[in-house]
Structure 1
Amino acid sequence: MPSAYILANVDVTDPQQYEEYKRLSTIAMKAHGAEVCIRGGAAQVIEGDWTPGRMVLLKFPSTEKARAFYDSPEYQAAKKAREGAAVMRMLLIEGT
């Protein structure tokens, strides 16, 4: 069964409020077995005209597990806490 990844590009507009999202999303990640590959950190564009914000990459054992995380009550609470604090762009990617 292939792994699955959630890749998020986040533009944080209210860093103080975003801390609550980070706290709640961490609870959801732990509850659903997410492996954190990237969470923040410096990013350098090496090709193209992309201007990424904060990057997050999570690994899951399957697409179903990734969707279960995203759809979970724990993550929905995190999303609610994020409202007005950030603009989120998120992809679910099948991988190996």
Structure 2
Amino acid sequence: MSDVPVYMIANFHVHDADTYKIYEKGFFPVLKKHGGSFLTYDDNTVTLEGAHPREGRIVIFQLPSEAAAQAWFDDPEYQALSEHRRAGTEMQFLTMVHGLPPR
């Protein structure tokens, strides 16, 4: 599955907007460095069935492969930046979803 794109889905509640903005500003250049692309975010999701994710923001972005996603997450620049996210938000989950292989 290493040659399929992966989609990262995060759910978190922002409790310190100023601290989170430091993270947000640095997030996009690090994501781009690893070949990623930002897809969307939503602060008002609608759950049609099942348990609703905890109140907060859902973010979805894509990386070209599982290896690229792991490299992004392990990047020391990202890890240093993520301290601002950890300080400014309460994370419910950060999940990697594998795309389908070419058919």
TM over 0.5: yes
Give unpaired runs (5+ residues) of structure 2. Answer: none
Give the partner amino acid of 2:95. L
Given that residues 14 and 89 in structure 2 are in contact (C-alpha distance below 8 angstroms), is that contact kept between their aligned partners in structure 1?
Answer: yes
Given that residues 4 and 62 in structure 1 are in contact (C-alpha distance below 8 angstroms), is that contact kept between their aligned partners in structure 2?
Answer: yes
- Root mean square deviation of aligned Cα: 1.5
How far apart in 2 are the matches of 1:23 and 1:8? 17
Aligned equivalent of 2:47: 45
Aligned equivalent of 1:90: 94
Give unpaired runs (5+ residues) of structure 1. Answer: none
Give the partner amino acid of 1:11. H
Q: Deviations over 1:50-88 (max 9, x none)?
A: 144211111111100011111112211221122321012
Give the partner amino acid of 1:60. L
Q: CA deviation at 1:18?
A: 0.6
Residue from 11, 14, 18 that aligns with 2:13: 11
Larger-Rg structure: 2
Q: Post-superposition, which runs of at least 4 consecutive aligned residues in structure 1 deviate over 2 A?
A: 39-42
Higher mean alpha-carbon deviation, 34-43 vs 61-70, is at: 34-43
Secondary structure at the counterpart of residue 10 of structure 1: strand
Q: Tell me the TM-score normalised to structure 1 length.
A: 0.87
Q: CA deviation at 1:41?
A: 5.0
- Aligned residues between the structures: 96
Given that residues 36 and 57 in structure 1 are in contact (C-alpha distance below 8 angstroms), is that contact kept between their aligned partners in structure 2?
Answer: yes
Secondary structure at the counterpart of residue 51 of structure 2: coil
Secondary structure at the counterpart of residue 59 of structure 2: strand
Secondary structure at the counterpart of residue 38 of structure 1: strand
Q: Tell me the TM-score normalised to structure 2 length.
A: 0.82
State how 1:52-71 maps to structure 2 within 5 Å: 52=54, 53-71=56-74
